[in-house]
Amino acid sequence: MANSNDNNNEVVTQIDSWYRIYKDSRCERLYDTIGLAYVPPSLDDPQTGVSSKDVKISPHVSARLYLPKITTDSSQKLPILVYYHGGALVLGSAFFNAYQRYLNILVAESNAIAISVEYRLAPEHDVPTIYEDCWTALQWVASHASEKFTSANEDPWLKNFGDFSRLSIIGDSAGGNIVYHMAMRAGREGGVNENVSINGSILVCPYLLVPLENIEQGISYKNWIIISPPSEAGLHSPMINPLAEKAPCLSGLACSRVLLCFAEKDEYIPREIGIEFVEGIKKSEWKGDLEFVEVEDEGHCFQLANPETEKSRDLIKRFASFIQLK
């Protein structure tokens, strides 16, 4: 007679070297294969001078905050960037070594305060829950703009140094998908709150899919079928396809500037998706400034794998310039 534990340990789904799901619904994330590990924050990064700390935003949402080395008047106000990590909505953490290293460099280059959001993941949680976590974090950041705001989890870095007229949201891969949905939700709700609007949105190799030849054979599509709500399991879903027939008009993007970055040799998100997305934004008659960057000879989210290369540095400088603008 088969042991019930043996049945529970049966793998029912495996997506490449990303994760496997067992019969008892457990999800095992295969981080060892891609060299990711949790690291603590640091109050003085030896390479950049950036300080970081962890905060609890709600029972389900936390974040790692980054503050650049303050070298001028302590009353100086700094741009704010809210960062959403990648990982196909299933993997990743704001507390991983790759993001700690990358955010330290980005914060130092842009001289901005960063809030790197730790949100719940699929498949244990559905995709709308992920978006809700990310909106909760964005609202928490924006709440610091109110002079009357007082809370047990108020953060002095944001309160004392944040310039809320320069609030940008940025994300890579799944984080780019989240940035798109945060900007669209802000459009529906008239801003993040009554005091704060999104200035700029940066989507880096965003996890978005549109009907292209062979797209349904790719790992990104197969992952979406597994984690999406049953009614959204396909390219008809505006959760994954911003150009779907039932997707809201892209003129609703609630930010004054958008920077889209794609990689020529992206193995997960073909560059053609970026081209179609750009055309969709243009056709929507959205009124903001749109930049499209395609980095030659690079793969998916290359800037995270090694932020010290020349192309990574150039891209980070471009992000920094974008973040600094009003």
198 bridge partner residues: 255
Q: What is the CATH number of the domain that holds 174?
A: 3.40.50.1820
Distance CA 81, CA 201 (A): 9
The pLDDT tens digits of the residues spanning 81-93 come to 999 999 999 999 9
Whether residues 18 and 123 share a domain: the answer is no
pLDDT given for residue 309 in this prediction:
96
Q: Which domain holds residue 76?
A: 36-324
Same domain for 21 and 155?
no
Whole-number pLDDT of residue 39: 96
Residues 97 and 4 in one domain: no
Residues 59 and 8 in one domain: no
| Predicted pLDDT at 118 | 98
Query: What long-range pairs does 128-136 form, CB within 8 A, spacing at least 24?
Result: 128/229, 130/89, 130/178, 131/178, 131/181, 131/182, 131/185, 133/58, 133/60, 133/61, 134/84, 134/178, 134/181, 134/182, 135/182, 135/185, 136/57, 136/58, 136/60, 136/61
Which is it for strands 162-172 and 78-84: parallel, antiparallel or unpaired?
parallel
> Rounded to an integer, what distance in angstroms lies between the CA atom of residue 37 and that of residue 315?
24
pLDDT for position 1: 45
For the chain, first and last CA: distance in Å?
A: 68
Residues 194 and 108 in one domain: yes
**What pTM did the predictor assign?**
0.95
Say yes or no: 226 and 206 in one domain: yes
- Alpha-carbon distances of 101 from 19, 50, 216, 242, rounded to whole Å: 24, 10, 34, 31
Residues of the chain with confidence (pLDDT) below 50: 1-2
Q: How many domains is the chain built from?
A: 2
Do 26 and 174 lie in a common domain? no
Same domain, 121 and 209: yes
- Domain identity same for 133 and 278: yes
Q: How far is residue 145's CA from residue 65's CA, in Å, rounded to a whole number? A: 16
Q: What is the pLDDT of residue 5?
A: 63
Residue 315 CB: number of other CB atoms within 10 A?
A: 21
* Euclidean distance between CA atoms 38 and 163, whole angstroms: 30
Question: Do 243 and 287 fall within a single domain?
Answer: yes
Q: Are residues 186 and 298 in the same domain?
A: yes
Q: Evaluate whether 89 touches 133 at the Cβ level (below 8 Å).
A: no
Do 9 and 24 lie in one domain? The reply is yes
